[in-house]
Structure 1
Amino acid sequence: MGKGRIAELDFVRAVAILAVLLIHGTADATVEIPFGSRSQIVFLLINKLSNFAVPVFLMISALVMFYRYEAGWNGREAFNFYRKRLQYVIVPYLIWMFFYYVFYQWLGNNRDLSAISIDWLDFAKKLQWADVGYHLYFIVIIAQFYLVFPIIMSLVKAFAWFRRYLWLVGIVIQGGVYSYHHWVNPFEHSGTLVTTYAAVICIGGWIGLHYDKFRSASRHLWWVFGLAMLFGYSLFNIFVLIRTNISFGAVAYEVVFHGYAIFMGISLLWIGRKVMEGYTRLAKWIVSFSAASFGIYLIHPALLSYWKVRLVYPGDSIAYQVSAIASTIMLLIVPWIIIALIKKIKGSWILLGR
């Protein structure tokens, strides 16, 4: 294809997977520590400011796809594309879905192996929407994107206006689908539908199609990042006010949530370029952490869930707060080490993809 690698994507992936770990590591503390306490506010702030993670992962996934395949999309490319996605995404998904299907039964029954029951029909039903655990839904969303990508790319190739306004098309689709869901007829599993993230996906795709132009616009980082922080702080305040029975409504939440992710994703791309070019030693660690990000995403809930079952403290105790902080630090280190060891084994792609 003749296009170079985008080094700053490693930075964005590393920050996004870090945000995922912070979300999960602090989630329980936001509700189990007494509301209004200083520590609860800190945990809530960290948790909500990390909420850009999933949309940003979808944004950069779309960016890479459109950047990679813009120059040529044909039958051979399509075959290789779907073969690789089946091999490196769907196969690990099936394995880890089954793992968590068994793991959570074992964990929920006092770690009693005899209590595990495997109902293959029940398991098959759970596959469609990743109804096991709380994190594999991302793969369901990305799989839907893989299915519609050839259609979007064909439209990009066929219509200059579609290519030019791809970002706006995504906003319109997401806004239209959300309006129907909110005011006409709610969709089941709306949080796992690709249309729920159409805006970030199409904006990521637009950036991938115009990456040289986008990269040269990094002088706007100061106000874009400022907007990201404004949206992020607003998201935090929405959740604080909800706890006091003050609500701005679902629409306001959607606008703030996705606005935060979009501006944060753009900012991280520009910041990432400066970091990857200016801090070579740090860049090596970032590349390593980024390369392990998919594996870390797959494995970390098992470690965190086991930690929480083994170490139980009252929410109003210092021990609870120390445990929450320690478990989050553990998530930053232990999964990374485990993934590095697994990757030394031939055929590790079966578990960790690529």
Structure 2
Amino acid sequence: MERRAKLTEIDIIRGIAILGVLMVHSTSFATVDMKEASLYGVYNFLNIFFKIGTTSFILLSSFVLFYNYYPQPLTVQRFKKFYRNRLMYILVPYLLFSALYFALRWYQNGAAWDLSLMWPSFRDKILTGQAYTHLYFVFISIQLYLLFPILLFLFKRFRWLAASAVIVGVGLQWAFFLYNREYWQVTNRGSWSPTYFGQYFLGAWLGIYFDRIKSWLIIAKENMTKSKVIAWVSLWAVWLASGIAYVTIFYNQRMYQTVYHNALYDGLWDIYTMLTSIILIQIAFLIGGRMYSSFWVGRLRHLGIVSFGVYLFHPLVLLVYRKFPLQGGGTMIHHAWYAGGFLCALVISWIVVTILSRMTNWSWLLFGSVPAQMRAATQRKPVIETPAATPSATA
């Protein structure tokens, strides 16, 4: 069967998602230290509203997998290649960065460099995604890659299951939430894949049925009908309302110690993050046609291409940056210092990943498929702009 058209717009979504990750991580200290500042509401907004990175990456990963694999026949050879690539490009970088961050933490804690003490701790951390605060995402991705062939088989075997994937995913997700709260009480719930089944199954559904639903999903002049405009406006309204509500409950909790039920946090988070991914898809297709003509759209796409490397590397930049905290100074100086953390995490990580990916043959060990994706992107020639409803011929 012929492969489906590639979607370069996915790189733009990844670029926006990694900006969200950097924003959350660079404002995390401010949400604790700047409560007396008049702009604390801004810090809270940036820290909560941009909590879209992990969920968007998970949904995109699922979308791409099911978009590419669902129309193809299931063969042993295809899955051998699938797992070989994930072993090389996901597991190896995960292990190397886990070792790096584990060693840094061990040094910071002043513990003895005793392998008999270090190895059990390191083993436990890599088996739970806890070697450093951000590596849980890669650990989740590995779990979902292990599940993918099973879900692909089931969705191809039972078409009704594919059609109801979103309902099934959200149901399984909330069953995990409820059973975990009442019985299992799993620590680090966010490191386990069932926490993200709603986003993952939504990505699967979008990937499977994209060709059928794109005229409803993608905002374009040629797609406009009264019913579609109503659907788009309603989508954006619900997304914005859920995002504001999500930001508000965290503000009240942080400032006034207001207590809310866990289900409210989970419910708003689920609605907001799932709708955010759909909104990002719409934005990407709105601006995607200018990725070769607009400098900023082109840079955003490039950031998306290197996003996995930036994700893995940027905490190292923030770790060094925070070694030099401000001593005194006015409030505006502190605002500038926090803004500087975001800019350093973005620019330095972006430059380092780009240079290493271009200049070395071993950078795939650290950044996975980023070097290959960069080479592929530079080899593609700009194409004549097509209507936004039609996927571009490259991705």
- Short-chain TM bin: over 0.9
- Correspondence for 1:231: 242
Q: Which residue of 1 aligns with 2:341?
A: 327
How far the C-alpha of 1:122 sits from its partner, in A, is 2.0
- Partners of 1:316 and 1:238 in 2: CA distance: 29
Match of 1:254 in 2: 266
CA–CA separation in structure 2 for the residues paired with 1:260 and 1:117: 45
1:300/1:331 contact within 8 Å kept = yes
Distance 1:151 1:171, change over 3 A: same
- Most deviating of 309-318 and 330-339: 309-318
Question: What stretches of structure 1 of length at least 5 have no aligned partner?
Answer: none
Aligned residue in 2 for 1:58:
58
Which residue in the other structure is 1:160 paired with? 159
Report SS of the residue matched to 2:39: helix
Show the counterpart of 1:212.
Answer: 211
Q: Which residue of 2 aligns with 1:353?
A: 368
Distance 1:153 1:314 in 2: 57
Displacement of 1:106 in angstroms is: 3.3
Per the alignment, in what secondary structure is the counterpart of residue 130 of structure 2?
Answer: coil
Range that drifts further, 197-206 or 301-310: 301-310
The whole-number CA distance in structure 2 between the counterparts of 1:182 and 1:321 is 38
Instruction: Indicate if the aligned counterparts of 2:314 and 2:346 stay in contact, CA closer than 8 A.
Output: no
SS in structure 2 of the partner of residue 131 of structure 1 = coil
Distance in structure 2 (CA, Å) of the matches to 1:181 and 1:115: 36
Shift of 1:242: 1.1
2:279 maps to 1:264: no
Task: Give the Cα–Cα distance (whole angstroms) in 2 for the partners of residues 183 and 267 of structure 1.
Answer: 34
Bigger mean CA deviation after superposition, 278-287 or 26-35: 278-287
Deviations 1:139-168 (A, max 9, x none): 111111011111111111111210110111
* Superposed displacement of residue 116, structure 1: 4.9
What SS does the aligned partner of 1:310 have?
coil
- Tell me the SS of whatever aligns to 1:188: coil
The AA in structure 2 aligned to 1:245 is: Q
Please state how far the C-alpha of 1:283 moved relative to its aligned partner: 3.2
Query: 1 CA distance for matches of 2:19 and 2:112?
Result: 34
Alignment-derived partner of residue 23 in structure 1: 24
Q: Secondary structure at the match of 2:322?
A: helix
CA contact under 8 A between 2:61 and 2:203: conserved in structure 1?
yes
The separation in 1 between residues aligned to 2:88 and 2:136, in whole angstroms, is 18
Query: Matched residues in 1 for 2:328 and 2:34: separation?
Result: 8
Q: What is the deviation of 1:288?
A: 1.1
CA distance in 2, matches of 1:353, 1:316: 43
Q: Does 1:173 align with 2:185?
A: no
| Aligned amino acid, residue 276 of structure 1 | G
CA contact (8 A) 1:313 1:320 kept: no
Contact 2:156 2:162 in 1 (8 A): yes
In 2, are the aligned partners of 1:25 and 1:324 still within 8 Å (CA)?
A: yes
User: How far did 1:115 drift?
Assistant: 6.1
Give the TM-score of the pair, scaled to structure 1: 0.94
Measured after TM superposition, the shift of residue 284 of structure 1 is 2.0
Deviation at 1:124, TM superposition (A): 1.4
1:315 & 1:291 partners in 2: Cα distance?
Answer: 39
Aligned counterpart for 2:351 among listed residues 314, 337, 344: 337
Q: Distance in 1 between matches of 2:76 and 2:323?
A: 50
Matched, 1:184 2:199: no
Q: Deviations over 1:300-335 (max 9, x none)?
A: 001101111122446984433221111111112111
**2:380 aligned residue:** none
- What TM-score do the two structures reach when normalised by structure 2? 0.84
Contact 1:32 1:315 in 2 (8 A): no
Does the Cα contact within 8 Å between 2:239 and 2:272 map onto a contact in 1?
A: yes
Superposed counterparts of 1:1-354, under 5 Å? 1-35=2-36, 37-72=37-72, 73-109=74-110, 116-118=113-115, 119-217=118-216, 218=218, 219=228, 220-243=231-254, 244-278=256-290, 280-281=293-294, 282-313=296-327, 317-343=331-357, 344-354=359-369
Matched to 1:150, the amino acid is: P
Over residues 245-290 of structure 1, what are the superposed CA-to-partner deviations in whole Å (9 max), with x where a residue is unaligned?
3222100000101111111100110110110114532332122111
